[in-house]
Amino acid sequence: MRRALTLVLALLLAACGSAPRRDLDYDRLHASLDALAADPELARFALAERALAEAAVRRLDASSINADEHVQLSYLAERRVDIAYIAAQTERERMRLDTLQREHASLLLAASRRETAAMRIELDRQRQRELLQQEAAQRGATTNPPPGVAAALSSAATSVPAEPVASPAPAATIAPPASTPANPVPLADGERTSAPLPVVAAPPPAVPAVATATPAEPGASTLAQRMAALVPEYGADGRQMTLEDLVFEPGTATFAADAPIGIARVAAWLAAEPALGIRIAGHTDATGSPEANRSLSLRRAEAVRDALVERGVGLSRIAVSGEGATLPVASNDDAAGRARNRRVVVRLGGGSG
Amino acid sequence: MTPTAGKIHVLALLLLVASPGWAARPRAPLPELQTAANAVALAEEVGAATYAPLELRYAAEQLDQALQVQESGDTAQARRLLEQSLVNSDLAVAKSRLGRTREAVQVQAAENAQLRGDGAAPPVDTP
């Protein structure tokens, strides 16, 4: 009985002796490394530091170490695990920094583009302003000629009273120019009551007098007088009437006060040829950006179209275009040439009809 | 040229080697001494005094203790202290790098936010 009891005790002691040793430090550090390896954000970083930490933890697991060595190895392993975590976080932060630096570069690029666009807009605005000032200056020179020019004009008026260029008479009483045909096209009712102007009929192509007719010279008289004297001419593409730039307020597509006189004459001329299509082309001088010039010329052509439609011209007959400064009729090097280039041409035989 | 702790340790190490007492007891200096001293110097260089002052202090103290212990003849303890000094220096370097990188991230994020703020400002009015 005693032997059996001794045997059982010996077996129990042996069982206890062979039970796996539990090292809490090792377990904790090992679990920490496992967590780092499983971390979705950090697992791919700091592989070398993780390998060093795993080696340090493995040294801790050796069964041959004594208590002092265990303390030492535990101290080292704990710091190696910390270093692995910190190195992984550092690499993740570096990736974040790279992303931010790329974003910074793209933001700078976008800012630079915005700045360039703003500068371009400002430049266009300045050109537009200069254009407006030039037009205003030329308009002032036309309507209020300098004293020398005024004197010359007045002397011409006294010497040649029949010349419409220097005639001070109001538009309604101006005698028709020499090229005006004898049988004028009747005006619309409203125009007849408000402005009883002499109206020209569409000249037949065979009449040389009409074919050589030229639009009134800007600056030769007031705008109202020139509008009243507006006649068709023969251009490269057929019969046309040209509205000068002073028909519009400077730099805009807004009609000047006397513009309806000329519009009415154009409308009357077009009414005489109801079967033909009409093309209205706006033109500018070469000052300013091509985009701004094209836009302005188109808006002016559209303004003329709208005015003609208001006077009964069929919209379906009309096609408009803004040519900008691409089709000059004079040099853009001097003010007079630029003034001639700024125009709206209404042409018969084109259009959408 | 400021006398940093790392340089002082290297100097102390050289004095130990060259001292008459050391010559009287011809003990070869532990090779780990130089490694640990270099690690402390590196930690100082990367800004551990700012980002990991505790770890840097531990590393420097353990290096000093290792020098003293080795002088007393306990090479094993000296080696243990040098290992601890080295790992603390490495930890200080790692913390310093993380601190610097985080600062750079913060600065860059602030700059980007500033740029985005500028971009969100109302655009230049068009004519």
pLDDT tens-digit readout, B19-41:
544 544 556 778 889 999 999 99
Q: What is the pTM of this model?
A: 0.49
Q: Which of A134-148, A241-255, A286-300, B45-59 has the lowest mean pLDDT?
A: A134-148
Mean pLDDT of A46-56: 95
A296's tokens: 């302005």
Q: Say if residues A135 and A245 touch (Cβ distance below 8 Å).
A: yes
Q: Which of B30, B63, B52, B47 is nearest to A79 (CA)?
A: B52
Question: B79 near B126, Cβ under 8 Å?
Answer: no
**How high is the pLDDT of residue A76?**
95
In the predicted model, is pLDDT for residue B15 greater than 80? no
Q: What is the pLDDT of residue B111?
A: 94
Whether the predicted pLDDT of B3 surpasses 70: no
- Chain-wide mean pLDDT for chain B? 83
CB B55 within 8 A of CB B48: yes
Amino acid B6: pLDDT? 60
Question: CB under 8 Å to A250, separation ≥6 — which residues?
Answer: A131, A132, A133, A135, A136, A139
Q: Are A76 and B87 in contact (CB under 8 A)?
A: yes
pLDDT at B45: 96
Write down the pLDDT at residue B27. Answer: 64
Percent of chain A residues topping a pLDDT of 70: 70
Residue type, A60: L
* Residues in CB range of B116: below 8 A, 6 or more apart: A107
CA-based nearest distance A225→chain B, Å = 34
**A contact test, residue of B42, B74, B107, B108 with most A CBs within 10 A:** B108
**Which token pair is A19?**
């039970």
Chain B CB contacts of A83 under 8 Å are 87, 90-91, 94
Chain A contact probe: residue of B87, B102, B114, B125 with most A CBs at under 10 A: B87
Average pLDDT value for residue range A103-128? 90
pLDDT band at A94 (very low <50, low <70, confident <90, very high): very high
Six-digit token string for A48: 């070398």
Q: Which tokens go with A337?
A: 């040439």
ipTM: 0.76
Q: What percent of chain A has pLDDT over 90?
A: 35
Q: Is the dihedral of CA B70, B76, B79, B83 positive or negative?
A: negative
What confidence score (pLDDT) does residue B58 get? 97
Least confident window among A23-32, A48-57, B1-10: B1-10
C-beta separation of A31 from A60 below 8 A: no
Res A77 pLDDT > 50 = yes
Q: What pLDDT is recorded for position B78? A: 95
Task: Give counts: helices (H), strands (E), chain B.
Answer: 6, 0
Report the pLDDT value the prediction gives residue B17, as an integer from 0 to 100.
52
Q: Which of B80, B87, B104 sits opposite A79 (nearest CB)?
A: B87
> Chain A neighbours among B 57-96 (CB < 8 Å)?
80, 83-84, 87-88, 90-91, 94-95
A235 SS3 class: strand
The residue whose two tokens read 């309507």 is: A143
Place A162 in a pLDDT band, splitting at 50, 70 and 90. very low
Which residue in A257, A256, A258, A267 sits closest to A232, CA to CA? A267
pLDDT score for A222: 83
The sign of the dihedral angle between the CA atoms of A318, A324, A327, A331 is: positive
**A131 or A101, which is more confident?**
A101
